[in-house]
Amino acid sequence: SASPHDVAASIQDKLGSQVSMKTEDIDTAILALGNSMTSLNLKGLGNIEQGYSVIIISLGLMIFLLSMVYERAKEFGAMRAIGGSVKQIERVLWSESLTVGVLSIGIGGIIGLPLGKVFVSLLKVLYTIPPKGIVIPFGALFALLFLVIVGMVVATYIANRRLARMDIAEGLREL
């Protein structure tokens, strides 16, 4: 069994100048592609994508919670008027935030794995040196999960502060 370099050289010698084709071994092709302007830093792109994911998830959850506080001001005002404490209403927000966060992460995982397999199959067609298969970066996933939880906590905290500043009369005004 000859080395890839020897096989490439043998093919080039047999073709000679009859065919204008360059023959390279896999190591040379990988080196050339890795150093070319068209090669992508997929790790860097993945980090950027994770950063945007955390920002979008956190902002989406914050918008959801703040709009919920605004839309349900009457209900929260009524709860406070009949003796509900701010802490009790904050617990409602925390439970809703946790429910939305857990469901979002679960649904994202269920959709993400098959979608990742589709993307890998597309990469196999598009790139000269195709990926071997799907790789699940558990470290990055746990870091992303941690950052999403931090974003959820911050968003819920901001919504709770808005709720604590809300006047009972403001909430009851539209009843």
Q: pLDDT tens for residues 90-149?
A: 888 888 888 888 888 889 889 988 998 888 888 777 766 666 777 777 887 787 788 778
What's the pLDDT at 84?
A: 82
* CA–CA distances in Å: residue 5 to residues 2, 121, 129: 8, 29, 17
How many CB atoms are located within 10 Å of the residue 160 CB? Answer: 20
Give the N- to C-terminal CA distance of the chain in Å, as an integer. Answer: 85
Q: Give pLDDT, residue 146.
A: 83
Q: Is 48 exposed, middle or buried (0-12, 13-18, 19+ CB in 10 A)?
A: exposed
Q: Say which residue, 62 or 63, is predicted with more confidence.
A: 63
Q: What is the average pLDDT across 146-153?
A: 80
Query: How much is the average pLDDT of 39-62?
Result: 74
| CB of 171 closer than 8 Å to CB of 82 | no
Higher confidence at residue 127 or residue 72? 72
Lowest model confidence (mean pLDDT) among 14-18, 138-142, 160-164: 14-18
pLDDT of residue 34: 61
Q: Which of 27-31, 58-62, 161-165 has the lowest mean pLDDT?
A: 27-31
- Burial label for 3, CB within 10 Å (0-12, 13-18, 19+), is exposed
Q: How confident is the model at residue 35 (pLDDT cuts 50, 70, 90)?
A: low
DSSP 17: T
Helix spans in the chain (H): 4-15, 26-35, 42-71, 73-81, 86-126, 138-165, 168-172
Which residues contact residue 120 at a Cβ distance below 8 angstroms, ignoring those fewer than 6 apart?
Answer: 131, 133, 134
